[in-house]
Amino acid sequence: MAPRIYIAGALASLALAAVVAASASQAQDLEFTPEQQTDDQEYLRVLPRADGTHAARAKTENVPYRRCDKDPFVASKAYRASSADAYASRMIYDYVRSRRVLNLRDCTCHGKVAPFSEVTAIIADIEAEHGSGWNRHNVAREYGKLGLQLFTQAEAMCGGDF
């Protein structure tokens, strides 16, 4: 009787080994379906990021900023001028736009086109604190850094180009 048990055990072990080998071979050939890829990307998008930023969900669909009607001042020559004032205004406006998108969780043009009056208010606060001779380049650099951090978070939240 003992030889039969050993033979049956050996056959069972061989069968199990064949099933495991076949499963491993098939697992290497598996690819995600488009639906599974979407699910996987969605899962990865909402995971907390390693750099500490977290992509909250937007309440709206993403509309790229380039498709939006700009604030009249942003469309003006004064905004695009190559001066220290214009540079500071652009950096502050980038910060204001990204902050607005995150606060509203709105990735449409309504969220992405901030009123320029917010930039004017920030500049007025800076002038009240530092006077009219405030260092435009330093302020622009600081708002540029802050704006870039918020911009990255806004793009992650919106799930595409800002």
Cα 102 from chain centre:
10
- Please tell me the predicted confidence (pLDDT) of residue 27: 47
Cα 156 from chain centre:
2
- Please tell me the predicted confidence (pLDDT) of residue 53: 52
Res 46 pLDDT > 90: no
Res 110 pLDDT > 60: yes
Prediction pTM value: 0.63
What Å distances lie between residue 140 and 87, 124, 135, 143, 148, CA to CA? 7, 14, 9, 5, 12
